[in-house]
Amino acid sequence: DTGVSQNPRHKITKRGQNVTFRCDPISEHNRLYWYRQTLGQGPEFLTYFQNEAQLEKSRLLSDRFSAERPKGSFSTLEIQRTEQGDSAMYLCASISRGSDNNEQFFGPGTRLTVL
Amino acid sequence: AQRVTQPEKLLSVFKGAPVELKCNYSYSGSPELFWYVQYSRQRLQLLLRHISRESIKGFTADLNKGETSFHLKKPFAQEEDSAMYYCALRSSSNTGKLIFGQGTTLQVKP
């Protein structure tokens, strides 16, 4: 286990298409976050899972966005009917249940370009 | 509202010069603050946390509640310190999500 992994690393799509990203957290990390980062900005929180339960969603997460973590392991983030404004880096982070330092471990991100 | 502000987009210094990356926050209560770093072509990683009061790679950061600041400092910059630095605040919500500043690019010239 070399850390949080995300696939694909890059995705180019046409406006109106649906896309799905995957995040595999560090093994046994029960907490998982999705963030979005646009050019020149810091990451912004999108949603949070504790095990398979989605416990918080940001206002940034419109109804075109949906995230799942069906078995409390990997997570998927789907964007339907993509818009050019969805172009960004999508980051996943995980943290262990018993973390005493609250360090979130980040994946390499998926860069989405909507044409 | 909980917010993090990094006023400088770019900080350019010469090798051996002191560095201070500014971070101000808005938070009611006892904040938990972090500095994350992203080197070229690498993922975002934790540099240091205010709770641990440690020095990592020569960097330190002191929480100043009176000035609501958490500036990152290093007395002598090295070329390998060139990277993007993000200040982050752990939200008071139960989720522990992070609230990031816009980031500062540190460029250390030889």
Q: Note the pLDDT tens digit of each residue in B17-51.
A: 999 999 999 998 888 999 999 999 999 999 999 88
Give residue for tokens 């995957």.
A22
* Contact flag A56-B99 (C-beta cutoff 8 Å): no
Chain B residues close to A99, C-beta within 8 Å = none
Is some CB atom of chain A closer than 8 A to the CB atom of B52? yes
Q: Which residue type occupies B3? A: R
Q: What is the dihedral of CA A73, B94, A41, A89, to 10 degrees?
A: 10
Pairing of strands A5-7, B60-61: unpaired
SS3 of residue B79 by DSSP: helix
- The torsion angles phi and psi of A38, rounded to 5 degrees, stand at -100, 165
Question: Looking at residue A2, what is its pLDDT?
Answer: 75
Residue A18, CB half-sphere, CA atoms under 13 Å: how many? 9
* Contact flag A56-B95 (C-beta cutoff 8 Å): yes
With a cut of 90, say whether residue A96 has pLDDT above it: no
